Structure 1
Amino acid sequence: MNIKRTMEGLVKYGFFVVLGATFLLFSVLTEHFLSGENILNIFHTMAPLAVIASGLGLVIISGRLDISVGSTALLSCAIGALLMKDHGVDPILATIVVLLCGAFLGAVNGAIVSVLKVNSLIATLGTMIAYRGIALSLTDALLVPLPEPIRVLGNAQLGPIPTDILIMVVILVGVHLLHARTAFGRQLVAMGNDVAIARKVGLPVDRTGFLSFVLAGVLASTGGILTTVQNGAVSPWLGSGVEFTALAAVVVGGISLLGGRGTILFSIIPGAFIFEMIRNGLTHLGATPYSYRLVGGAVIFAAMYADALKSGRVSLRWRTVP
């Protein structure tokens, strides 16, 4: 009985144990990991991932998936950067266009899923490939540099804190309140728990699902803007693989992949932090960049298995629960 309770506790709180142990390990093994400057750098680097993951989290809470967020970020930011570079469009107007592009691309996903009733994984797999293909065609798969006055914003600070950390916090708090305090958020949870019952009791399932994809598109383009400003250019690799890292951050933080369970603020921040912390710590250790994929993959597997245990799909006795 004690062993069973211990295992259940590890499943419930194991992420925080792993987070604390990993943080302590890197603090002991490296000289500068624990410095305040480096901790701020971790939050600075993870800001785009956290913002993108917050939108993806809303979709997952509703019981669906959106694996096109990385491609949405690339295409919308590529359009904005090309407008500034080739047509001299004002940066503020270009930013608005990027956000509108993200909303439109998210709306396309939402229409395919909610109107055409295509499985969300299949639908967004298709748009992930299509959006990235369009972006690479527009940019000829080349870097699109930002105007010089904008590049300096990548290192902008408010006091000692990088501005993108503050932007990340404001956005995550806003999305968290949208999920936790509004009828829209409650409808997402109801859909994630049982979409058929939600439809029977009269909830606007199709409209709510559509809006969740639109929000995911807007937040993906916002994360793309943060990445672009940090890098000073739109790279053809922008957003590549971020959909899976964001998905892992969402699930690692405690949002169920089956939907209907989890919070935004207290799931996304620790989930995104552990992935960036691992990358940062391995860099300080002088490890090969490819080792991050190995460790990150192990963390993703552990997160998915823990989610399966919590949801009852598998048991601690290594057998599938009917």
Structure 2
Amino acid sequence: MTTHQTIYWPPERENEGVREAAALLAAGGVVAFPTETVYGLGGDARNEAAVERIFAAKGRPSDNPLIVHAASAEEAEALAAEIGPAERRLMDAFWPGPLTLVLPARPGVVSARVTAGLDTVAVRVPGHELARRLIAAAGCPIAAPSANRSGRPSPTRAGHVLEDLNGRIDGVLDGGPTGVGVESTVVRIVDGAAHVLRPGGVTAEQLEAALGGEAHVASPAPDAGDAAAADAGAPRSPGVKYSHYAPKGVMVVVAGGDAARVRAAAQEAADAQRSRGLRVGVLACDENAPAYRADAVLRLGPRAEPERAAQALYAALRECDELGVGFIVAEGYPERGIGAALMNRMRKAAGGRIHYV
């Protein structure tokens, strides 16, 4: 695609950045902006040419739907043909915040490229105040996948966006590091069941509590979404059909309930690859990190705080790329709470290579 200058608005030019970025979005431009999860690459969801530019910049398959971001729940509701009581409970509990709802689409309100031709639309109200200000100033719903080249680790800092998309998009609005670090949870309510199409910043346990019996959470097996999406054509949610979040090097995840066995198996894998001449990186909790022998050991935070690991994961994968690491071994985490989303992203980054000990 044709390259051009990408405008960068630093945090100290926030007000000017919102004003100028909103004008670009309203005119059909594409701009990266911070959310509480990861940085998004936004364009007017009603403008097919703007949506096409998002796909082109990312190199993203066009049968993968985009999430539409709204400045308020009221604006989000205008995109849906109907909203049931279970969806309302979730909206009330988690908006603004890292929850995306897949709803019946109101005909004609967004480009068919946003929905991948489906009869549903994925919608959320971001928890990041700067994102909501930008969307409100643009005066339109904003379709926004993560602001990275498709398949690469998602960006949690403005610098990550520029690494992937400088010269391919109109601007980057820098709001500092993101908070959650993994993408939003995507939920679709069907026949009284809340199907978690993508785990994320809102946990299954939080969903269950908020639903209050209006529906029950029916999460699929860890990789069920991939197989189902492959069989069903266009997926209802992003992040379930194609390779995602991958570093340049080969990655394997070592998981299990015994920390000593995990550490020993991870070191064995690292030693085997170093003996072959590869640069090896280890992603480890703070407690285990000092014990590893590797070319790079990146800390993901205390073992008991998986939310810290979720915040740090994508930046750690990108750092491994910067260091020329050819093989990455990562410690796994229990798949409960935010750990479910963390392990989902680790599994995808590793291409399914996970070793349980």
* TM-score normalized by the length of structure 1: 0.26
* TM-score normalized by the length of structure 2: 0.24
Q: Which structure has greater strand proportion?
A: 2
Q: Which has the higher contact order (CA 8 A, sep 6+)?
A: 1
Q: Which structure has greater helix proportion?
A: 1
